[in-house]
């Protein structure tokens, strides 16, 4: 097993969209409701590779792309928000999501930020366990409009820590 975290610019346009589509195969409503947003995000990253390489990466297993994570640093130093974070369906439940998340946290910490925030769906129990296992704490649960009933907002606090 050879896990590597590689730059988005190493890959072809469309990969992020493919990974997101695959990761949500368990419920067709995600593709129906999110497909255009995923395509727009994919296009933005591949149109802006410098941003993509600084604010995200592709996770590979034996040179095959199996995951993707991104984050938004526009609110540094207050916080960084993790955006898309997915693992391909056939690679779920192998610990790769946690490895990917920990790598993202390690990279984000270098930005001298006070906290990292992330939101997940109340129904995504494995995602909740993963965030909590890395050190995220539940900040709030909130109702949302649409087929998703509730979201959980998590916070990973970095205040008072020295990572230099």
Give residue 163's pLDDT: 47
Which residue segments constitute the domains of the chain, with CATH numbers given? 3-157 (3.40.630.30)
Give residue 162's pLDDT: 52
| Phi, then psi, of 5 in degrees rounded to 5 | -110, 115
Task: Note down pLDDT in tens along the chain; length 164 residues.
Answer: 699 999 999 999 999 999 999 999 888 888 888 899 999 999 999 999 999 999 999 999 999 999 999 999 999 999 999 999 999 999 999 999 999 999 999 999 998 899 999 999 888 889 999 999 999 999 999 997 776 678 999 999 998 665 44
Judge whether 31 and 55 are in contact, CB under 8 Å.
no
Give residue 160's pLDDT: 67
Judge whether 67 and 59 are in contact, CB under 8 Å.
yes
Nearest to 92 by CA among 158, 27, 26, 136: 26
Using alpha carbons, list the distances in angstroms from residue 24 to 21, 27, 98, 124, 132: 6, 6, 17, 11, 21
Cα atoms found within 13 Å of the Cα of residue 35, Cβ hemisphere only: 8
């Amino acid at each position: 097993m050879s896990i590597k975290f590689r730059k988005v610019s190493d890959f072809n346009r469309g990969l992020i969209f493919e990974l997101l589509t695959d990761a949500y195969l368990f419920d067709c409503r995600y593709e129906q409701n999110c497909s255009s947003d995923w395509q727009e995000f994919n296009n933005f990253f591949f149109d802006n590779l410098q941003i993509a390489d600084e604010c995200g990466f592709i996770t590979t297993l034996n040179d095959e792309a199996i995951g993707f994570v991104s984050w938004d640093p526009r609110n540094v130093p207050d916080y960084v928000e993790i955006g898309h974070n997915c693992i391909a369906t056939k690679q779920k439940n192998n610990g790769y999501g946690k490895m990917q998340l920990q790598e993202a946290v390690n990279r984000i910490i270098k930005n001298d930020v006070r906290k990292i925030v992330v939101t997940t769906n109340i129904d995504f129990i494995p995602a909740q366990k993963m965030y909590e296992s890395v050190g995220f704490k539940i900040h709030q649960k909130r109702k949302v409009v649409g087929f998703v009933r509730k979201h959980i907002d998590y916070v990973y606090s970095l205040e008072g820590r020295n990572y230099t």
